[in-house]
């Protein structure tokens, strides 16, 4: 296959998850039949802790075997592609398992070697990537002395080695301060153009403005999926606002899903989410944060209400 054909083939490729189930040896069913098509662009995989995000990501990266189902890239199972798949895959794991005694540069060289990159290519890319993630100055220092944010950026840099077609990021902003979060987010949105990017997070702002599509995962099931705009639109007419006294607010916790509250001069401006029309409340436009609460917190709240 010529180089240009290879490129065409990649461009047309879709990453396809076909009915993925995962049951861990202890019997925990972490994924209960997940099907998904990913094309170039940023996907936000959103769900609370324990939803199955990391399990799904490890299966997509080929690190973990599914109990049932397949991951297919183009027309081929990723298991069959093996090395060819790993060549086009960049993965940023959730856990910071870095070699603390390595310098930043040495770590990237080590990862480039594991990826099977040509020496000349690594020599070109490593300084550029260090610059892009703003670590040029720290590149000669030992990773053990890096801050959490610097480690995250270094992990992101290694995921970008060899310009992967598929970029999988598991909680890339975990443990970062707000400024670093914004920086990583902007950076991801810049480099994502021609890639399939899957970004797992339980933090709405991480994906709010950059994801072309959001996948809501709860207890191993995709419960909804769509553009941020469409997900938000579904909540239109379900979000309500009113000023209440602090006593009223106390009672409200029991039987209302509270999305937000702000202290104002005459009490609290409270925002709730409810399917039903709320007498005396004003309907307001929903946000993606409301989408999160509606899909992931409502279950808990309903449970509490029954008790
Ligand atoms: P998330 O990344 O969304 O927080 P995970 O994929 O890490 O979710 O976990 C999904 C579920 O599977 C959780 O209930 C978790 O406790 C369980 N789980 C994860 N890894 C293992 C494992 N190696 N063995 C058993 N259960 C696991
Ligand atoms: Mg996880």
| pLDDT tens column, 10-56 | 546 799 999 999 999 999 999 999 999 999 999 999 999 999 999 99
Question: How far, in Å, is the centroid of ligand 1 from the Cα of 128?
Answer: 36
* Residue 128, domain member (yes or no): no
Strands 166-170 and 15-23, by their bridges, are unpaired
Length of the chain: 307
17 and 82 share a domain? yes
Dist. CA 123–CA 172, nearest whole Å: 25
For residue 228, pLDDT over 90 is answered with yes
pLDDT in tens, 154-196: 999 999 999 999 999 999 988 788 888 888 888 889 888 789 9
- Beta strand 68-73 pairing with 41-46: unpaired
Nearest by Cα to 211 from 224, 199, 194: 199
Q: Which ligand is nearest to the CA of 58?
A: 1
Kindly report the protein residue whose alpha carbon is nearest to atom 22 of ligand 1. Answer: 24
Contact present, 164 and 88 (Cβ < 8 Å): yes
Of 233, 256, 285, the residue that ends a domain is 233
Asked if pLDDT for residue 8 goes beyond 60, the answer is no
Q: Structurally, how many domains does the chain consist of?
A: 2
Contacts with 124 (C-beta within 8 Å, 6 or more apart), sequence order? none
Neighbours of ion ligand 2 (CB under 5 A): 53-54, 94
Residue 95 within a domain? no
pLDDT at res. 300: 56
Contact 127, 95 (CB under 8 A): no
Q: Do 226 and 276 sit in the same domain of this protein?
A: no
The average confidence (pLDDT) of the chain is: 90
Task: Output the CA–CA distances (angstroms, integers) from residue 254 to 43, 225, 248, 257, in the order listed.
Answer: 35, 30, 11, 8
Cα 93 to middle of ligand 2, angstroms: 9
User: 229 and 240: one domain?
Assistant: no
pLDDT-based confidence at 149, cuts 50/70/90? confident
In a domain, 39, yes or no: yes
Same domain, 244 and 223: no
Residue 264 has pLDDT above 50, yes or no: yes
The residue range of the domain holding 21 is 1-88+195-233
What separation in angstroms does the CA of 30 have from each of 34, 53, 65, 203, 303? Answer: 10, 9, 12, 20, 21
In terms of domains, do 3 and 83 share one?
yes
Does pLDDT of 252 surpass 80?
Answer: yes
Question: How many angstroms does the Cα of residue 263 sit away from the middle of ligand 2?
Answer: 34
For residues 206 and 255, membership in a common domain is answered with no
Assigned token pair, 60:
């997509």
Question: Domain check: are 273 and 228 in the same one?
Answer: no
Does 291 share its domain with 226?
no
Pocket of ligand 1, beta carbon within 6 A: 24, 26, 28, 30, 47, 49-55
User: Is 156 domain-assigned?
Assistant: no
Q: Does pLDDT of 6 surpass 50?
A: no
Is 6 a member of any domain? yes
Residue 177: per-residue pLDDT: 82
For residues 33 and 51, state if they share a domain. yes
Do both 14 and 76 map to the same domain?
Answer: yes
Q: How far, in Å, is the centroid of ligand 1 from the Cα of 30?
A: 6
Q: How many degrees, rounded to 5, is the angle at CA 23 between CA 302 and CA 65? A: 130
Q: Same domain, yes or no, for 73 and 13? A: yes
Is 268 contained in some domain? yes
Candidate of 25, 28, 92, 296 to mutate for ligand 1, largest count of ligand atoms within 8 Å of Cβ: 28
Q: Given a cut of 80, is residue 260 above it in pLDDT?
A: yes
Residue 212 confidence class, pLDDT cut points 50, 70, 90: very high
Ligand 1 geometric centre to CA of 52 (Å): 6
Q: In angstroms, rounded to a whole number, what is the distance separating the alpha carbons of residues 166 and 58?
A: 13
pLDDT higher than 90, residue 273: yes
Q: Do the domain assignments include residue 249?
A: yes
Give residue 99's pLDDT band: very low, low, confident or very high (50, 70, 90). confident
Is the domain of 217 the same as that of 277? no
pLDDT of amino acid 299? 59
- What confidence score (pLDDT) does residue 148 get? 85
| CA 219 / ligand 1 centre spacing (Å) | 10
Q: Which ligand is nearest to the CA of 45?
A: 1
Q: Is residue 304 scored above 60 in pLDDT?
A: no
Q: Residue 171 CA: which ligand 1 atom is closest?
A: 2
Q: What is the pLDDT of residue 303?
A: 45
Does residue 112 sit within a domain? no
Q: What mean pLDDT comes out for the span 65-80? A: 95
Cα–Cα distance between 187 and 169 in angstroms, integer?
13
CB atoms within 10 A of CB 253: 11
Q: Whose CA is nearest to atom 7 of ligand 1?
A: 54
- For residue 34, the domain's CATH number is 3.40.50.300
């Amino acid at each position: 296959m010529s180089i240009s054909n290879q490129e065409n083939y990649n461009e047309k490729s879709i990453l396809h998850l076909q009915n993925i189930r995962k049951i861990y040896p202890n019997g925990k069913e972490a994924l209960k039949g997940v099907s998904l098509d990913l094309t170039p662009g940023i996907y936000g995989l959103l769900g609370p802790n324990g939803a199955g995000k990391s399990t799904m990501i490890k299966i997509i990266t080929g690190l973990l075997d599914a109990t049932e189902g397949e991951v297919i890239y183009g027309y081929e199972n990723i298991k069959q592609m093996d090395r060819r798949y790993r060549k086009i895959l960049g993965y940023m794991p959730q856990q910071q398992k870095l070699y603390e005694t390595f310098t930043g540069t040495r770590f990237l060289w080590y990862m480039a070697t594991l990826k099977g990159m040509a020496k000349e290519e690594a020599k070109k890319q490593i300084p550029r990537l260090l610059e892009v993630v703003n670590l040029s100055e720290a590149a000669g220092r030992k990773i053990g002395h890096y801050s959490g944010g610097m480690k995250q950026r270094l992990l992101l840099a290694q995921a970008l080695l060899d310009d992967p077609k598929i970029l999988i990021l598991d909680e890339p902003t975990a443990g970062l301060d707000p400024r670093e979060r914004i920086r990583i987010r902007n950076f991801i949105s810049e480099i994502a153009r021609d890639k399939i990017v899957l970004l797992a997070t339980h933090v709405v702002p991480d994906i709010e403005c950059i994801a072309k599509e959001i996948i809501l995962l709860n207890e191993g099931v995709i419960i909804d999926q769509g553009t941020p705009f469409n997900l938000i639109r579904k909540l239109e007419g379900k979000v309500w606002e009113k000023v209440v006294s602090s006593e009223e607010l106390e009672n409200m916790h029991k039987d209302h899903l509270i999305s937000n509250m702000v202290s104002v001069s005459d009490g609290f401006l409270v925002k709730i989410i409810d399917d039903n029309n709320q007498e005396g409340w004003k309907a307001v436009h929903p946000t993606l944060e409301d989408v999160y609460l509606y899909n992931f917190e409502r279950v808990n709240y309903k449970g509490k209400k029954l008790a």
